């Protein structure tokens, strides 16, 4: 039987946590304060959290912890790429764990959130009970090329790719990441907003196979678009601040931790081949391929798979921690 999201719930606590160098991250808790701690890591970089992310988890069984990564969402300041790197985000997660007095937690992420989840696990394996990862992204050059070069996803959506390139000068269109960097480094606020919408629209169009009629006028939250575009460009231009193939090369540090990996067969943002490669290298991971899903965390098959995975994991963790 297909599962829906759990019912809407409010957060029982919201706060802004000082994490250093003038950054405050928005942090919330919902569900059962005495339940199994679960940390949800949103995508992007820069995507921000959603109240619907709470709804992947049974609120009677989980203590649901969600935050906006530094520089985006409700975190302060945002958008901001100052003192913003993968190393900082890992430190922020560990500071959150200590602040909330959590010994170990289940770590769940989508898209870029899977990258960050695994990198946190590699750095702090003894603090992770398990992983649920949807839409794997390993932070490799092949993945950046797939998203932004003319020889990747552009071959499937050539008309949308042309709109993605439209804000750029002709000289920059052969190097889109560099071109967008020029815009975001400028003082032209109008150009920044137009570029943010074009960047965000490109990813939205790639993300789902259930909704196709997306245009710039559908992007009403310009702040979210700006955070997503500027932070993603910042991270991807710097190869996510990790060496090539860092996750696979260090998979032994987390390979004993149980992981459920969920990936849409028609994911046009994060190719299935990378999730397959990861699973082959990870001795305690299982891969569930969704036959009629893309990249979005809110397509029907993906919602069903994540909610079932959180139920499976809570039962597994209770059984193995009694």
> Phi/psi of residue 193, each to 5°?
-65, -45
* Average pLDDT, integer, range 279-285: 97
- Rounded Cα distance between 73 and 200, Å, is 14
- 276 classed as catalytic: no
**Banded model confidence at residue 209, pLDDT cuts 50, 70, 90:** confident
- Rounded Cα distance between 112 and 119, Å, is 11
Q: Taking a C-beta distance cutoff of 8 angstroms, is the pair 297, 109 a contact?
A: no
Given a cut of 90, whether residue 1 has pLDDT beyond it is: no
* Average pLDDT, integer, range 250-267: 98
CB atoms within 10 A of CB 284: 12
**Banded model confidence at residue 194, pLDDT cuts 50, 70, 90:** very high
- Rounded Cα distance between 256 and 259, Å, is 9
Options 30, 49, 75, 111, the catalytic residue: 111
Which of 122, 21, 105 is closest to 67 using CA atoms?
105
Given a cut of 60, whether residue 215 has pLDDT beyond it is: no
- Rounded Cα distance between 50 and 66, Å, is 9
For residue 268, what pLDDT is reported?
97
User: What whole-number percentage of the chain has pLDDT above 90?
Assistant: 91
* Average pLDDT, integer, range 147-163: 96
- Rounded Cα distance between 51 and 30, Å, is 10
For residue 322, what pLDDT is reported?
52
**Banded model confidence at residue 107, pLDDT cuts 50, 70, 90:** very high
- Rounded Cα distance between 48 and 242, Å, is 21
Options 23, 295, 296, 304, the catalytic residue: 295
Q: Taking a C-beta distance cutoff of 8 angstroms, is the pair 68, 74 a contact?
A: yes
For residue 232, what pLDDT is reported?
98
pLDDT in tens, 245-255: 999 999 999 99
All domains of the chain, ordered by start, with CATH? 13-140+243-320 (3.40.50.1820), 142-240 (no CATH)
All residues at 6 or more sequence positions from 254 whose CB lies less than 8 Å from its CB, including other chains? 118, 121, 122, 125, 128, 131, 282
User: What whole-number percentage of the chain has pLDDT above 70?
Assistant: 97
Options 226, 267, 296, 304, the catalytic residue: 267
For residue 214, what pLDDT is reported?
59
Residues 85-108 as b or e (16 or more Cβ within 10 Å = b): bbebbbbbbebbbeebeeebbbbb
For residue 280, what pLDDT is reported?
98
Mean pLDDT of the chain, nearest integer: 95
For residue 213, what pLDDT is reported?
63
For residue 247, what pLDDT is reported?
98
- Rounded Cα distance between 93 and 284, Å, is 23
Given a cut of 90, whether residue 276 has pLDDT beyond it is: yes
Given a cut of 70, whether residue 25 has pLDDT beyond it is: yes
β-partners of residue 41 are 109
For residue 244, what pLDDT is reported?
98
- Rounded Cα distance between 169 and 89, Å, is 32
pLDDT in tens, 46-62: 999 999 999 999 999 99
Q: How many CA atoms lie within 13 A of 94 on its CB side?
A: 16
For residue 320, what pLDDT is reported?
76
- 111 classed as catalytic: yes
Which 8-state DSSP code applies to residue 7? P
Q: Taking a C-beta distance cutoff of 8 angstroms, is the pair 200, 167 a contact?
A: no
β-partners of residue 131 are 107, 259
**Banded model confidence at residue 211, pLDDT cuts 50, 70, 90:** low
* Average pLDDT, integer, range 185-204: 94
For residue 212, what pLDDT is reported?
62
């Amino acid at each position: 039987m297909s599962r829906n999201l759990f019912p809407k719930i409010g957060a029982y606590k919201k706060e802004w946590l000082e994490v250093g160098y003038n950054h405050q991250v928005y942090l919330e808790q919902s569900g059962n304060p005495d339940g199994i701690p679960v940390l949800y890591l949103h995508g992007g970089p820069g995507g921000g959290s959603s109240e619907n992310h709470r709804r992947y988890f049974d609120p009677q069984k989980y203590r649901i912890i969600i935050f906006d990564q530094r520089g985006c969402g409700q975190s302060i300041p945002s958008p901001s790429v100052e003192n913003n790197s993968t190393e900082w985000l890992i430190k922020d997660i560990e500071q959150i764990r200590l602040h909330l007095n959590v010994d170990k937690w289940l770590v769940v992420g989508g898209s870029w959130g899977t990258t960050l989840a695994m990198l946190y696990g590699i750095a702090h394996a003894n603090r992770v009970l398990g992983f649920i990862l949807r839409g794997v992204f390993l932070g490799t050059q092949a993945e950046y090329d797939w998203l932004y070069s003319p020889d990747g996803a552009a071959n499937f959506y050539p008309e949308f790719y042309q709109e993605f390139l439209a804000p750029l000068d002709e000289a920059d269109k052969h190097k889109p990441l560099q071109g967008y960097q020029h815009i975001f480094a400028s003082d032209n606020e109008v150009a920044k907003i137009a570029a943010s919408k074009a960047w965000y629209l490109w990813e939205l169009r790639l993300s789902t196979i259930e909704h196709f009629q997306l245009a710039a006028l559908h992007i009403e939250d310009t702040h979210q678009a700006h955070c997503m575009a500027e932070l993603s460009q910042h991270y991807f231009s710097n190869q996510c601040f990790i060496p090539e193939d860092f996750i696979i090369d260090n998979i032994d540090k987390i390979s004993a931790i149980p992981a459920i990996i969920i990936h849409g067969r028609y994911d046009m943002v994060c190719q299935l081949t990378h999730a397959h490669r990861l699973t082959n290298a990870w001795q305690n991971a299982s891969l569930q391929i969704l036959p009629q899903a893309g990249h979005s965390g809110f397509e029907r098959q993906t919602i069903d798979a994540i909610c079932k995975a959180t139920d499976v994991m809570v039962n597994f963790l209770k059984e193995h921690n009694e």
